[in-house]
Amino acid sequence: MNDLKPCGRPCEPGLIHLKSRPPRRGLTQPALSILFAALLSSSAPLCPARAHIFLSNPPMIWPEGEIVMVLKLGTPGRTLLDGHTSWDSVAGAALSAWNAYLEPIHFSPVIQDPGKGSDGDHVNQVFFNSKVYGESFGGLVLAVTTIWRNETSRTESDVIFNTAVSWDSYRGPARRVEGKLLCDLFRVALHEFGHALGLGHPDEAGQAVQAIMNSVTSDVDSLTADDVDGAQELYPPRSPVITVQARTESGLFQLKMTALANRNHIIQASTDLVTWSSLATNRVTNGELDFTDTHLDASGTRFYRVLLAP
């Protein structure tokens, strides 16, 4: 049992458990880790610092591209506190929150009928269950993220939410009902998907920092700068290259943009590098984008930049 006290304020005790299972047959040099997120709650303010930490050294990361997450959580049969009527939509919102900062990878949610997942099948599945593939969650455990890898490349991560706890979805301070924590699936999903990316618990490394990735559930209900910094250190954003092509016969600027993530991008222009106006939002599918600026500018001077769309 751990009794964590961030910045001198006491937290409730809880269980933090990290263990491994033997490799399964039929996989090439596989290894599986199971990371347990503990049911801890604290409203304590955390000391400012940058302290993101990775689950392994060297880090285990996904290859570039799409990380398909199969959501099999189903519906709660009621309207949740934040207005959602589907657990899958809550988990999808958590994936989207990470996607806003991820490049050159991104989560891609796929919704299926609710049910138990399969372990070691190279399919990333998110579901509710009372056990972790036949094993007990242990005391006070909210959720589990499994990690299959081949050397330092991730090949599978399943997320299992414990059916033994009370779930809802809401923003703001952690809530309690009759003295017990009402678990917010959104912030716990943010945490678990951070583990799926390769992030660990900064507070368990002796750091005091505000982060969704801390091992305690708290009033933090969204990604913090530390969470984003950690993800972008694991998956560094690529710098787009913009090449100005020859003008059209009518004098329009033509641009070729390369090294782009396969996401929606906003193209902006400026005449003074201070005030920027959005010209278009385009979907990139092969890492490249051709664009013709139909907005002629009398000054003849035009600066361009490309940004990831939210």
CB contact burial 174-185 (16+ within 10 A = b; e otherwise): beeeeeebbbbb
Number of H helices, E strands in the chain: 3, 19
* pLDDT at residue number 73: 98
Residue owning tokens 């106006």: 277
Query: What does the angle CA 276 – CA 281 – CA 287 come to, to the nearest 5 degrees?
Result: 110
Q: What is the pLDDT of residue 95?
A: 97
Tokens of 264: 């929606």
Count of positions (residues) in the chain: 310
Q: Concatenated DSSP letters for 201-224?
A: -GGGGT-----TTSSSEES--S--
Please answer whether residues 100 and 228 qualify as being in contact, where contact means their C-beta atoms are separated by less than 8 angstroms: no
The answer to whether 146 and 121 have CB atoms below 8 angstroms apart is no
Contact criterion met (CB below 8 Å) for 212 and 225:
no
pLDDT at 52: 60
pLDDT computed for residue 121 by the predictor? 95
Q: Is 35 helix (H, G, I), strand (E, B) or coil?
A: strand
Domain assignments of the chain as residue spans, ordered by start: 6-234, 241-308
One-letter identity of residue 75: T
Residue 234 backbone phi and psi in degrees, to 5: -70, -40
State residue 298's pLDDT score.
57
Predicted pLDDT at 23: 31
Which pLDDT belongs to residue 81? 98
Task: Estimate to the nearest angstrom the gap between the alpha carbon of 63 and the chain centroid.
Answer: 15
Segments in the chain forming alpha helices (H):
87-99, 185-197, 225-234
The predicted pLDDT at position 50 comes to: 37
Amino acid at 161: F
Q: Could you tell me if 60 and 153 are in contact, meaning their C-beta atoms sit under 8 angstroms apart?
A: yes
- pTM comes to 0.72
pLDDT of residue 4: 19
CATH of 6-234, one of 3.40.47.10, 3.90.1150.10, 3.40.390.10, 3.40.720.10: 3.40.390.10
- In one-letter notation, the amino acid at residue 218 is S
User: Using one digit for the tens of pLDDT, what is the confidence trace for 186-235?
Assistant: 999 999 999 999 999 988 877 788 899 998 889 999 999 999 999 999 99
Say what the pLDDT of residue 16 is.
27
Which stretches of the chain drop beneath a pLDDT of 50? 1-34, 36-51
pLDDT score, position 57: 72
Half-sphere exposure of 242 (CA within 13 A, CB side): 16
